[in-house]
Chain A
Amino acid sequence: MSGEQTRKLFVLSAIWLALLLAPYWMAPLGGYTALATRVLVLGLAAMSVNFLLGFTGVLSFGHAAYFGLGAYGTGLALKFLTTSTPMSLVMGMLLGGVVGALLGALIVRRRGVYFAMVTIAFGQVFYYIAFQWSSLTGGDDGLRGFSRQPLHFRFFQIDILSNTNYFYYFVLFCFAVAVGAMGLILRSPFGRAMIAIRENERRARFLGIPIERHIWIAFTLSCFFMGLAGALYALVNNFADPRGLHYSQSGDFVMMAVMGGMRTFWGPLLGAAVFVVLQDYLSSVTVNWMSFVGLLFVLVVLFFPRGLLGFVRRKSAA
């Protein structure tokens, strides 16, 4: 194996080791397992946004809509349709993904700033639906009355409801599956085509790559991943609410991806970790945490546009 590959393997193992042992090294440092679970879920969401943003070059600023739809899908499934947690996850993911597929078809022709505006506005449609259709969604009070159920296997059950650590590992498992799928897609010819589109759309078109179709597929895939993240989020809180659909939530995800490093695979997870921990810490310390978070946005955009991992990479490449 070349030096480059050994290094990559080493980094990958380090990441997974850290994730596997999180409940154990977080507590002594003042963290708590629920925080780690939240980082995983929001990290997955950020990575889903990045799938579209960093790898295809398409700016969707309304992606939280699919996140929220995933959450509501899971919540409604658990409330009315099923007592199986994995089943509800699938349903949530489907809701987010299918809606994404439908909407994506409508808007793939636009690009750039206009595309971003349209995605924001579409995202807000779902926010308002969730807000107003209170008989189904609980409106402003959110969807309640469901909770994640213990996982039943033939001979034993895993209580992810009351045991925070068990639930963390369950989420980690789902995260691993999703991330693995994402990685496989990116490594496939389709993934290469996506990157080609990002680099130079016109050239890619000349190469015969069906641009709109590829963007639509990428969009749909990212919505499925988003739906899964949202579904997991509903399980974290045992709750789904309209704010998960709001464009400010989308903004947070994009910021995590940018902060961690848009062009990298693991960057968004790092960005999510920093963002979540920072926000958690700041909001406990000062009531003006919003100014600090806003300042963070401004500083990252002005001085660290390549994000943390992008910065590290440039240093090592130089």
Chain B
Amino acid sequence: MKNPIVSLVSDRRALLKGAAAIGALQIASPFVVPVRAADNIKMGMVDPLTGVYAAPAGNEVMGAKLAVDQINAKGGILGRQVELLVEDSANDVGTGVQKARKLIERDNVNFIIGDVNSGIAAAIAQVTAEKKVLHVVSGGHTDTITGKDCHWNVYRVCNTTRMEANSVSDLLYNKYGKKWHFITPDYAFGHTLYDACAANLKKLGGTVTGNELTPLGTTDFSAYLIKARAAQPDVLLLLVQGSDMINCLKQIVQFGLDKQIHVAGTQQELESLAGLPPEARIGIWMFEWYWKQPGVPHVAEFVAEIRKRNGGQVPTARHWFGYTSAMTFALVANQQKSLDAIKLAQALDDFELPPDVKLQPNKVYYRKGDHQLMTSAFIGEALNKGKDDPEDLFRVDSVVPGDKTAPPVADTGCTIKWPA
């Protein structure tokens, strides 16, 4: 019988030659910089396309790509075509920072969008501030980005945790009661969200019956739910997100807890609701943007456009984040007829988004003091399944404008320091 090791080795010679050729090509190619039309304006986007945030990140990129296509169809920025360069931060800060530097130093991008992961977004913000590049944080929620770590060149589209807490607190208190129990993800986002909610509850006169800090990536919430039920609250607030939200809600419904305690929370996403079995789609939440807005101009067109690119599925808030981020650059650059970062940043102070970009009823603008987009909160209830549309999983009850939910600039801890 032929010795398998020998046959492996002799086959290897031929394979090696082929592999070496391919390998050489692979290694040589990064150094052969593809000929990029020098005339193009480049937007860089850094998002975790692999890892636990792959779904929302992918959606953000899709939204941004739509924006860039639309911008180019209308003549681009300052008459030049726009190119979107997307890099994967792989949910790792080192990689995110490296990619940001690559986009800025090697690819000479004019604008940067990113990241879904708050930590990476903040780290990239340090790089963009150092390099003086305009930066819109599309989906990272940590408050410090437009708070104590704010920079003159950094703007943010999605809500802060304070805004989210403020949007639902009154409603939950009045509707459900004064004893709240929390399930909080144990990292900065969770902590600030909890602090904001607890502060609001205290102001309203309620009590916190407990706060379960759950490690990120917890798969089994039973121990925490046992404690939560023992505390007998009026409302169980789930502050967890993503896979944690899915696991937690699934288990709550399986345990029948939703029949005993009201379930609610702050931020909820269509991605999470879609990943849940129908019976687990419950609770009162706020969405940062929702696709079904009858009567609001331009929304239907946006939904149709995304549906074409998304295999028939509707856009989520993430699509809108990416779309708005890219559009912001085009709008302000074309308005100011300039690409100078400082000039554009100053123009973005109190910059209002037009109806075909804001895609919501209220006034939406970048607040001057902290560079936070005053975007509305869509408050409502999750639906097991849509009435007219299988993807209509959320019933919007009210849309509260951003400047009503956002704390005053003085409370955010942000002081913008402009470069000399």
**Chain A directly contacts chain B within the complex, with at least one CB pair under 8 Å:** yes
Which residues of A are at the interface with B, using a C-beta cutoff of 8 A? 29-35, 38, 131-132, 134, 138-142, 144, 147, 162, 164, 233, 236-239, 241, 243-244, 274, 277-278, 280-281, 283-284, 287, 289-290, 299, 303
A38 to B93: give the CA distance in the assembly, Å. Answer: 13
Residue from B16, B88, B102, B188 in contact with A35 in the complex, judged by beta carbons closer than 8 Å: B102
Contact between chains at A287 and B123 (CB < 8 Å): no
User: Given A140-B119, A141-B187, do A281 and B30 touch, yes or no (CB 8 Å)?
Assistant: yes
Q: Is B186 an interface residue (CB 8 A)?
A: yes
Shortest Cβ distance from B123 into A: residue: A239
Question: A residues within 8 A CB of B88?
Answer: 283-284, 287, 289
Indicate if the CB atoms of A30 and B32 lie closer than 8 Å: yes
Q: Beyond A132-B215, A283-B88, A283-B90, is A144–B123 a contact (Cβ under 8 Å)?
A: yes
Across-interface contacts of A29 in B (CB, < 8 A) = 31-33
Contact residue among B33, B94, B118, B122 (Cβ-Cβ distance under 8 Å from A30)? B33
How close is B9's CB to chain A, nearest CB, in angstroms?
10
Chain A nearest CB from B160 CB (Å) reads 15
Chain B residue numbers with a CB within 8 Å of A244 are 94
Contact between chains at B27 and A142 (CB < 8 Å): no
Q: Is the CB of A140 within 8 A of B94?
A: no
| A141, closest chain B residue (CB) | B119
Contact at B105–A164, with CB atoms within 8 Å?
yes
Residues of chain A within 8 A (CB-CB) of B33 are 29-30
Chain A residues near B186: list those with CB within 8 A.
Answer: 132, 134, 139
Q: Give the Cβ gap from A311 to chain B, nearest Cβ, in Å.
A: 8
CB distance from B391 to the nearest CB of A (A): 24
Given contacts A138-B188, A243-B93, contact A303 B98 (CB under 8 A): no
Q: Is the interface of A mostly helix, strand, loop or mixed?
A: helix
Beta-carbon contact of B87 and A32 below 8 Å: no
Residue from A131, A236, A287 with most neighbouring chain B CB atoms (10 Å): A287
Q: Does B388 contact A (CB under 8 A)?
A: no
Q: A277 vs B58: C-alpha distance in the bound complex, in angstroms?
A: 24
List residues 37-92 of chain B with CB under 8 A from any CB of chain A.
49-50, 58, 85, 87-88, 90-92
Q: Pick from B85, B102, B118, B123: contact of A32, CB below 8 A.
A: B102
- The answer to whether B119 and A303 have CB atoms under 8 Å apart is no
Is the C-beta of B308 less than 8 angstroms from some C-beta in chain A?
Answer: no
- Interface contact A287-B50, CB-CB below 8 Å: yes
6 further contact pairs, Cβ within 8 A, besides A34-B102, A277-B30: A144-B126, A147-B126, A233-B94, A237-B97, A238-B123, A290-B50
Contact of B106 among A32, A132, A144, A283 (CB under 8 A): A32
Determine the distance from Cα of A239 to Cα of B120 in the docked complex, in whole angstroms: 10
Q: Which of A131, A140, A280 contacts B98 (CB 8 A)?
A: A280
- Which residues of chain B are within 8 angstroms of A237 by Cβ–Cβ distance? 93-94, 97-98, 123
Q: For residue B215, which residues in chain A have a CB less than 8 angstroms away from its CB?
A: 131-132
Q: List 7 A-B contacts (CB under 8 A).
A: A35-B102, A139-B188, A140-B216, A144-B126, A238-B97, A239-B126, A289-B88
What is the CA–CA distance of A139 and B58 in the complex, to the nearest angstrom?
25
Complex Cα distance A289/B260, Å?
47
**Selected contact of A141 from candidates B16, B30, B105, B122, CB within 8 Å:** B122
What residues on A are CB-neighbors of B216 within 8 Å? 131, 140
- Per the bound structure, the CA–CA distance linking A140 and B92 in Å amounts to 10
A271 to chain B, nearest CB (A): 12
Partner of A134, one of B26, B29, B188: B188
A residues within 8 A CB of B31? Answer: 29-31
- Distance (Å) between the CB of A303 and the closest chain B CB? 6
Interchain pairs with CB closer than 8 A, number: 116
The smallest beta-carbon distance between B49 and chain A, in angstroms, is 5
B 92-119 binary contact with A (CB < 8 Å = 1; else 0): 1111011101100110000000000011
* Complex: chain B residue closest to A164, CB-CB: B105
Chain B residues whose C-beta falls within 8 Å of the C-beta of A281 in the assembled complex: 26, 29-30
* A238 CA / B149 CA spacing, docked (Å): 15
Residues of A within 8 A of B191 (CB): 134
Which residues from chain B contact A280 at a C-beta distance below 8 Å?
A: 30, 98, 102
Taking the complex as formed, is B411 at the interface, i.e. its CB lies under 8 A from any CB of chain A?
no
Residue of A nearest to B61 (CB): A287
Establish whether residues B106 and A241, one from each chain, have CB atoms under 8 Å apart when the complex forms: no
* Residue numbers in A under 8 Å from B389 (CB-CB): none
Task: Given A34-B105, A278-B27, verify A299-B19 contact (CB < 8 Å).
Answer: yes
Say if the beta carbon of B337 comes within 8 Å of chain A.
no
B142 at the interface (CB under 8 A from A): yes
Most chain A Cβ neighbours within 10 Å, of B91, B95, B99: B95
Contact A142 B98 (CB under 8 A): no
B94 touches A32 (CB 8 A): no
**B105 nearest in chain A by CB position:** A32
Contact between A303 and B12, CB atoms less than 8 A apart: yes
B15 interface hit (Cβ, 8 Å):
yes
Which B residues are CB-close (under 8 A) to A131?
215-216
Asked if residues A303 and B32 are in contact (CB atoms below 8 Å), the reply is no
Closest Cβ–Cβ distance, residue B317 to chain A (whole Å):
21
Pair B105/A287 contact, Cβ less than 8 Å:
no
User: Looking at A32, A132, A142, A241, which has the most chain B CB atoms within 10 Å of its CB?
Assistant: A142
Q: How far is the CA of A32 from the CA of B130 in the complex (A)?
A: 17
Cβ contact of A241, chosen from B27, B49, B87, B119, cutoff 8 A? B119
B100 to chain A, nearest CB (A): 10
Within 8 A of A (CB), among B263-307: none
